[in-house]
Amino acid sequence: MQKLIVFFSLFLLLGSSVLKAQSADDVLGLWLTDDGKAKIEIYKEAGKYNGKIVWLKEPNNDNGQPKLDKENSEEELRKRPIVGLNLVKGFTFDDGVWEDGEIYDPENGKTYACRMKLKGDKLDVRGYIGMAMFGRTVVWTRVEE
């Protein structure tokens, strides 16, 4: 009888782990950045996960014009609006991590390698140069659309 109870307990434990397993599309949706300045919509296109800025807390500059990507190193891109800008792109899902993507920082015009990991309604977004251990993680929060 004791063996049956142990077996049943293990079965329930393993079964609950399977139920909590993440699917690749769990990252899809709307996310508020850690500083609350922007909302990012993560979507899937051609098998890759990407994200674009769909809302800014302050969408306009002091002149009342939409904020532009003025820090971009490519001069021809400096006139594009920040709202609608692809911020994260090219991610694939592998064993609970969205990886092999990149993130663009419109505040400094630089692009970094990136990986993302979902923890409930929080998304750890880690941008880095070279190796992930040499980077910075921000936490985005899922918001209702």
The span from the CA of 19 to the CA of 26, in Å, is 13
> Per the structure block, which two tokens stand in for 68?
């532009």
* Span 75-130, pLDDT tens digits: 999 999 999 999 999 999 999 999 999 999 999 999 999 999 999 999 999 999 99
The span from the CA of 35 to the CA of 47, in Å, is 29
The CATH label, of 3.40.50.2300, 3.50.50.60, 2.40.128.520, 3.30.70.2740, for the domain at 23-143 is 2.40.128.520
pLDDT for residue 1? 52
Segments making up each domain of the chain, as ranges? 23-143
